[in-house]
Amino acid sequence: MTHAVTVLALDAVVGFDLTVPPQVLGSARAADGTPFYEVTTAGMGGPVRPSRGGFTITPDHGLEALATADTVVVAGVNGNRTLIDGTLDPAVGEALRAAHDRGARILSICTGASVLAAAGLLDDRPAASHWGWARRLRKLYPQVQWDFDVLFVDGGDILTSAGVGAGIDLCLHVVRTDHGSAVANTAARRCVVPPFRDGGQAQYIERPIPAARADGTSATRAWALDRLAEPVSLKEMAGHANMSVRTFTRRFRDETGLSPLKWLLRQRVDHARLLLESTDLGVDVVARRAGLGSATALRQHFQQSVGVAPAAYRRTFRHG
């Protein structure tokens, strides 16, 4: 059955945040092209002026749409009362609490978390939002366990993300949770975005990311991805890139934010996730094909990266 998603647009909505869920979730489809999600927008009635852009939008529905949605997404706001004095229109708070109480999944993108906090839905819970609003949000909503260092927080029934691009990561995480990595990866390709960034990844890197270069490490990353089942050393990666180990490591970190071996381990764990979801291969075979060596090593790295054992992940996340 198609999963009903309603995106809530309030005054001073962030336009990018509002358009991410229909774009990303709308790209998740079954093999026959059937969409897994039906995404609509809702507001308080009448047009909504975004925080930037010089245009207005008119949501398809009013707040009544939240009463039937399977998932409610609150888009970010910039200038809303929830970021000024911590107040929220009572009708919005009531609609959000009612949706949560009846079992709807609640998401927020960026400063949309301030709306959830004002509605009382984040009390004594961990939550993410844009790092630039950390001081304001902590002052307005001290009862929330804010984490401004991560891309998103999955609290099960309530999920919150950091700013702008992190909303894409959160939506892909939802697709992966609901339908597996293969569907999420295909949706990411349709949107031309990276298929996976772990929620615990830092929101930003202090040093600037250099422009893509012909003599960069992208070709070597593609080469390594084709050899995940094989032992690949740092020296071999540097040799493929025709660089010294020191130069390669520095340039690789500048381009990806990770060391070469940490990046390679992440790709192997991601490949193991896909194999666990889409095949019946035993854990030992999955470990070998992902280049992790043994079932023991797979369990160790999987627990550290994903938070559950491989067998539990397969039971929970495999579909079809």
Tell me the C-alpha distance between 115 and 144, whole Å.
12
pLDDT at 194: 66
Closest CA to 109 of 169, 58, 63, 38: 169
Tens of pLDDT along the chain (320 residues)?
789 999 999 989 999 999 999 999 999 999 899 999 999 999 998 888 887 777 888 999 999 999 999 999 999 998 889 999 999 999 999 999 999 999 999 999 999 999 999 999 999 999 999 988 999 999 999 999 999 888 889 899 999 998 878 889 899 989 988 988 888 888 888 887 766 555 444 444 333 344 455 568 889 999 999 999 999 999 999 999 999 999 999 999 888 878 999 999 989 998 898 888 888 899 999 999 999 999 999 999 888 877 778 888 787 655 44
Tell me the C-alpha distance between 198 and 247, whole Å.
27
How far is the CA of 126 from the CAs of 8, 110, 146, 159, 178, in angstroms? 21, 14, 6, 9, 22
pLDDT at 149: 82
pLDDT at 319: 46
pLDDT at 320: 41
Number of residues in the chain = 320
Phi/psi class of residue 46: alpha, beta or left (left: φ > 0; alpha: ψ in -120 to 50)?
Answer: left
pLDDT at 318: 52
pLDDT at 249: 94
pLDDT at 203: 45
Closest CA to 19 of 79, 61, 59: 59
Q: What is the pTM of this model?
A: 0.68
